[in-house]
């Protein structure tokens, strides 16, 4: 009897289902793949380019780059073909005679370079769903979308990069002051390639991370150097700090010798614009090789790039020209720019790994760090069209918004449309949230205070960074509201009259930067009015500009800078585990014989203050006319309201601690300058006047000595008569408590 099983309809359907399942099983089979570094080695050993492999596997070249850096993994059916290729290459080019594919066990997942920073930050109001590891590569988004591919490997002007000569020198001995052996882990981004930057010494050597020295082209001028920096010979790269961000561009630091070797002048003739003339031969050479400059031209911090395309990807190199003042001594220290190339490479690499690869001044870098940690856009697949497009990242600043009229500086078009040019705005027309600059009336000094012998200054560590921690700020535009009910959880500015509130005249008013009580209605940021309510006063705003779309935008920024600061202080021998006397002693010597960590510490502090200041960047250049827009207004991070909220919070935090000492221990400051307060004391140090609880602990809610942000250190001490004389002359003792003008020194 014939077998009719194969002709039965149910049997045919079953065999079809089995075949489909077998195909699925074959497709999802996870072929073993070698480590990403081995994938790159095999390709280079065979003399193949990424473009050749991409063409053979019908993928984009950027996808191959992602496979070789470990950012993504190939998906079936490409995975099986890629594994077959690597296995064949491993047979032809084994490592010590061992087939790398067959000998490689499945690799653990790649570490996330920002896991520490993101885990300690508060979640945004609309947290993102983590993307799966195996995800198709989107097409190249529009430049500036926040999801640009990294620069093209080996892209350049056609000059072949030289094979690197790698010389690994012993890392310099870290400079440490005596201190406890236990130190917190250093929050550094895992190294990628040879590091994010190279310092050129002018002799054909590029000094990079960990003492590595590379040879670079010495002929061909800037075009050859740029091509080398973007190619595999240099391997200069830094990983993105957020999965929706973009990889960092290589940084080339030109010492005076390297500047001359490249045909650049040691001094810029245009001292106002600080830019190289457009007709300079070096710039003509760049233009001939199809390299472009940003509209700021070729100055101390120059960006050389080619427009990104789907085939080339991102091609951009940052240059820092030291003899032109790229490293501001107020931020980096007086002698930093004169350090030998190996030490300068160590210094800048430390800063880059803990903060960000410098992209300009520390202020510019502070602002860029905000965007790197919370990019404005991400690549998202449109479900209707099945195409990739740019989408906003929840919790980020995604677009430029105009300020509310009270928040805008005098030059802004919003102000120009409301008032004549010579008009001086009053407190009920402008938001004035600035840091303290206050002195007490010498007539209010008590007899008991005049018997003390010293004036002691205490300074809050990283005051503006601490104020940014867990601060809810507006993310979108402001809406105008009449007669609102005050809500301390809504960011914005409020018009209210606090002049009837009576406070101790021996303390500065928490509502004004000059410390004098307000005299009528004025605009206040939300933290200031919230503090008035905290003090027990009723708050009745008459109008407000509010931002209901809000979130803790600066949390990740604070966390990264805090960790960088703490790690650098640990390098200097100062840790959070120190008892107060040991902490004070260590702070008197922590900068001795430690130029590199000291410079890094100075730069981190400057990054905090400068980054907050850049949120309200004023117009620059002699050609500007009031009422015109200026380039900074087109940034999503031009946000004077966020700057006002941070400064308001810092000032309120200062007053809260001073008020605690006044009400609990009867201690009142004689002067306050930003984050420094001066008290009269019977001894020369903070421990001589800071109050304690009966069990000897610091007063809760008051100033506490320590290294962490928000805690205080000893700022300086002067005799009583010196401080009283300063008050009589109307000068601020807090400005000069260290023996010099702290503000003039950028402190």
Q: Which residue, of 371, 391, 411, is where some domain finishes? A: 391
- Each residue of 423-437: pLDDT tens digit? 999 999 999 999 999
For 188-203, write each residue's pLDDT tens digit: 444 458 999 999 999 9
CA distance 609 to 363: 7
Going by pLDDT thresholds of 50, 70 and 90, the confidence category of residue 68 is confident
Instruction: Give the model's pLDDT for residue 259.
Output: 97
Asked, for residue 84, whether it belongs to a domain, the answer is: yes
Q: Is the peptide bond before 77 cis (omega within 30 degrees of 0)?
A: yes
Per-residue CA distances from 481 to 18, 49, 496, 542, 545 (Å): 66, 61, 13, 9, 6
Q: Helix 640-665 vs helix 595-614: angle between axes, to the nearest 10 degrees?
A: 110
Looking at the structure, tell me whether residues 214 and 363 fall in a common domain. Answer: yes
Of 375, 391, 407, the position where a domain reaches its end is 391
Structure tokens at 275: 């830019």
| The token pair that represents 108 in the structure block | 């653990």
| Calpha distance 724→721 (Å, rounded) | 5
Nearest-10 Cα torsion for 516, 521, 524, 529: 90
Q: Are residues 174 and 62 in the same domain?
A: no
pLDDT at 468 over 70: yes
Residue 5 pLDDT: 41
* Range scoring the smallest mean pLDDT among 54-63, 127-136, 306-315, 388-397: 127-136
CA distance 482 to 540: 11
pLDDT for res 691: 96
Residues of the chain with pLDDT > 90, as a percent, come to 66
Is pLDDT larger for residue 364 or for residue 95?
364
Query: pLDDT tens digits, residue range 522-565?
Result: 999 999 999 999 999 999 999 999 999 999 999 999 999 999 99
At residue 562, the pLDDT reads: 97
DSSP 539-578: ---SEEEE--SEE-TTHHHHHHHHHHHHHHHHHTT--TTS
Q: What is the pLDDT of residues 707-718, one digit of tens each?
A: 999 999 999 999
Last residue of a domain, one of 47, 82, 103: 103
Mean of the pLDDT values across residues 81-88? Answer: 84
Lowest mean pLDDT among 82-96, 135-149, 515-529: 135-149
Decide which of 107 and 455 is more confident.
455
pLDDT band at residue 410 under the 50/70/90 scheme: very high
Q: Are 705 and 443 in contact (CB under 8 A)?
A: no
DSSP letters, 696-713, are SPBPTTS--BSSSTTSEE
How high is the pLDDT of residue 649? 98
b/e for 298-323, b at 16 or more Cβ within 10 A? bbbbbbbbbebeeebbbbbbbbbbbb
Alpha carbon of residue 107 to chain centroid: 31
**Which among 238, 247, 560 has a CA at the least distance from the CA of 375?**
247
Task: Tell me the pLDDT band of 52, cut-offs 50, 70 and 90.
Answer: confident
What is the structure's pLDDT at 249?
A: 93
CATH of the domain at 58: 1.10.260
The per-residue pLDDT for range 469-527, each reduced to its tens digit, is 999 999 999 999 999 999 999 999 999 999 999 999 999 999 999 999 999 999 999 99
Predicted local distance difference test score (pLDDT) of residue 268? 93
Q: Is residue 456 part of a domain?
A: no
Residues 214 and 279 in one domain: yes
DSSP bridge partners of 718 = 455
- Assigned domain for 18 exists: no
Give the pLDDT score at 309. Answer: 83
What share of the chain has pLDDT > 70, as a percent? 81
- 719-738 residue pLDDT tens: 999 999 999 999 999 999 99
Structure confidence by residue, pLDDT tens digits, 639-652: 999 999 999 999 99
The pLDDT, as a whole number, for residue 646 is 98
Mean pLDDT value across residues 258-285: 93
Kindly state whether residues 89 and 193 are assigned to the same domain. no
Q: How confident is the model at residue 159 (pLDDT cuts 50, 70, 90)?
A: very low
Of 23-37, 392-406, 565-579, 620-634, the range with the lowest mean pLDDT is 23-37
Q: Are residues 262 and 385 in the same domain?
A: yes
Yes or no: say if 166 and 213 are a contact pair by the CB < 8 Å rule.
Answer: yes
98 and 144 belong to one structural domain: no
Annotate 625-676 with three-state secondary structure. CCCCCCHHHHCCCCCHHHHHHHHHHHHHHHHHHHHHHHHHHCCCCCEEECCE
Provide the pLDDT confidence category of residue 81 given band limits of 50, 70 and 90: confident
- Total structural domains in the chain? 2
Indicate the pLDDT class of residue 131, thresholds 50, 70 and 90: very low
Question: How does DSSP classify residue 95?
Answer: B
User: Do 163 and 37 fall within a single domain?
Assistant: no
Could you count the other beta carbons within 10 Å of the beta carbon of residue 718? Answer: 20
pLDDT at 261 over 90: yes
Q: Give the global pTM.
A: 0.76
670 neighbors 679 (Cβ within 8 angstroms): yes
Is residue 82 located within the same domain as residue 156? no
Nearest to 394 by CA among 379, 377, 381: 377
Determine, yes or no, domain membership for 282. Answer: yes
- pLDDT of res. 11: 53
Q: Would you list the DSSP string of 10-32?
A: HHHHHHHHHHHHHHHHHHH----
Separation CA 371–CA 640 (nearest Å): 16
- Is position 617 within any domain? no
Calpha distance 278→260 (Å, rounded) = 18
Residue span of the structural domain in which 54 resides: 28-103
* Same domain for 209 and 73: no
Does 581 reside within a domain?
no
Give Cα separations from 101 to 32, 74, 84, 107, 350 (angstroms).
7, 15, 9, 12, 36
Q: What is the DSSP letter of 191?
A: P
Both 155 and 203 in one domain: the answer is yes
Is 211 found in the same domain as 86? no
Decide: helix, strand or coil at residue 607: helix
**Per-residue model confidence (pLDDT) at position 123:** 33
At residue 110 the predicted structure's pLDDT band, cuts being 50, 70 and 90, is very low
Question: What per-residue confidence (pLDDT) applies to 155?
Answer: 33
Q: In what order do the strands lie in the sheet with 313-321?
A: 167-168, 212-215, 205-207, 197-200, 251-254, 313-321, 301-309, 292-293
Kindly state the DSSP code that residue 178 receives in the 8-state scheme: S
Which stretch of 39-43, 369-373, 537-541, 602-606 has the lowest confidence by average pLDDT? Answer: 39-43
Statement to judge: residues 99 and 189 lie in one domain = no
The overall average pLDDT reported for the chain is 84
The reply to whether 652 falls in a domain is no
Query: How many residues comprise the chain?
Result: 747
Higher pLDDT, 32 or 637: 637
Q: Is residue 36 part of a domain?
A: yes
């Amino acid at each position: 009897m014939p077998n009719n099983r194969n002709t039965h309809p149910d049997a045919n359907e079953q065999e079809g289902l089995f075949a489909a399942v077998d195909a699925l099983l074959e497709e999802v089979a996870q072929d073993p793949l070698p480590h990403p570094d081995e994938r790159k080695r095999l390709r280079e050993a065979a003399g193949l380019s990424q473009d050749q492999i991409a063409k053979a596997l019908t993928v984009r070249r950027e996808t191959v780059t992602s496979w070789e850096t470990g950012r993504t993994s190939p998906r079936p059916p490409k995975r099986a073909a890629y594994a077959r290729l690597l296995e064949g290459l491993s047979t032809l080019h084994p490592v010590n005679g061992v087939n790398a594919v067959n000998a490689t066990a499945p690799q653990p997942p790649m570490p996330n370079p920002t896991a520490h920073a993101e885990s300690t930050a508060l979640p945004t109001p609309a947290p993102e769903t983590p993307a799966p590891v195996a995800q198709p590569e989107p097409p190249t988004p529009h430049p500036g979308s926040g999801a640009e591919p990294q620069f093209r490997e080996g892209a350049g002007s056609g000059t072949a990069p030289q094979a690197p000569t790698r010389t690994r020198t012993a890392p310099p001995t870290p400079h440490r002051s005596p201190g406890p052996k236990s130190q917190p882990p250093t929050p550094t981004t895992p190294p990628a390639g040879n590091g994010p930057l190279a310092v050129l010494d002018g002799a054909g050597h590029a000094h990079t991370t960990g003492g590595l020295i590379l040879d670079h082209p010495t002929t061909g001028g800037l075009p050859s150097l740029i091509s080398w920096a973007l190619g595999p010979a240099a391997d200069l790269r830094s990983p993105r700090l957020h999965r929706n961000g973009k990889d960092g561009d290589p940084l080339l630091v030109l010492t005076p010798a390297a500047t001359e070797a490249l045909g650049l002048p040691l001094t810029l003739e245009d001292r106002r614009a600080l830019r190289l003339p457009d007709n300079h031969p070096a710039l003509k050479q760049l233009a001939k090789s199809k390299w472009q400059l940003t509209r700021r031209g070729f100055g101390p911090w120059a960006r050389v790039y080619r427009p990104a395309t789907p085939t080339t990807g991102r091609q951009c190199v940052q240059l820092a020209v030291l003899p032109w003042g790229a490293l501001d001594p107020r931020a980096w220290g007086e002698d930093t720019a004169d350090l030998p190339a190996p030490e300068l490479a160590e210094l800048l690499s430390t800063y880059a790994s803990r903060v960000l690869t410098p992209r300009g001044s520390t202020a510019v870098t502070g602002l860029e760090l905000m965007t790197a940690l919370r990019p404005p856009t991400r690549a998202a697949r449109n479900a209707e069209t099945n195409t990739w497009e740019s989408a906003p990242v929840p919790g980020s600043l995604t677009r430029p918004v105009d300020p509310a009229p009270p928040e805008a500086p005098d030059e802004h078009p919003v102000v120009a449309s409301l008032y004549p040019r010579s008009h001086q705005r009053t407190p009920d027309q402008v938001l004035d949230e600035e840091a303290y600059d206050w002195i007490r009336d010498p007539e209010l000094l008590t007899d008991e205070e005049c018997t003390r012998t010293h004036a002691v200054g205490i300074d809050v560590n990283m005051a503006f960074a601490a104020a940014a921690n867990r601060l809810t700020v507006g993310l979108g535009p402001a809406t105008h509201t009449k007669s609102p009910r005050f809500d301390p959880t809504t960011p914005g500015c409020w018009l209210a009259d606090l002049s009837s509130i009576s406070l101790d005249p021996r303390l500065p008013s928490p509502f004004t930067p000059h410390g004098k009580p307000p005299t009528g209605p004025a605009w206040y940021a939300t933290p200031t009015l919230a503090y008035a309510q905290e003090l027990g006063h009723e708050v009745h705003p008459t109008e407000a500009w509010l931002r209901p779309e809000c979130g803790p935008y600066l949390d990740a920024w604070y966390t990264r800078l805090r960790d960088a600061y703490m790690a650098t202080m640990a390098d200097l021998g100062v840790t959070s585990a120190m008892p107060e006397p040991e902490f004070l002693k260590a702070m008197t010597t922590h900068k001795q014989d430690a130029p590199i960590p000291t410079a890094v510490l100075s730069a981190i502090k400057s990054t905090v203050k400068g980054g907050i200041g850049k949120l309200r960047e004023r117009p620059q250049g002699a050609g500007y006319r009031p009422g015109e827009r200026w380039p900074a207004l087109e940034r999503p991070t031009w946000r004077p309201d966020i700057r006002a909220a941070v400064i308001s919070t810092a000032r309120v935090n200062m007053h809260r601690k001073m008020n605690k000492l006044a009400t609990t221990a009867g201690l009142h400051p004689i002067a306050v300058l930003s984050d420094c307060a001066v008290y009269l004391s019977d001894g020369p140090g903070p421990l001589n006047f800071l109050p304690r609880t009966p069990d000897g602990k610091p007063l809760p809610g008051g100033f506490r000595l320590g290294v962490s942000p928000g805690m205080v250190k000893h700022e300086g001490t002067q005799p009583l008569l010196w401080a009283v004389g300063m008050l009589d002359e109307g000068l601020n003792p807090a400005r000069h408590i260290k023996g010099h003008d702290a503000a003039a020194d950028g402190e």
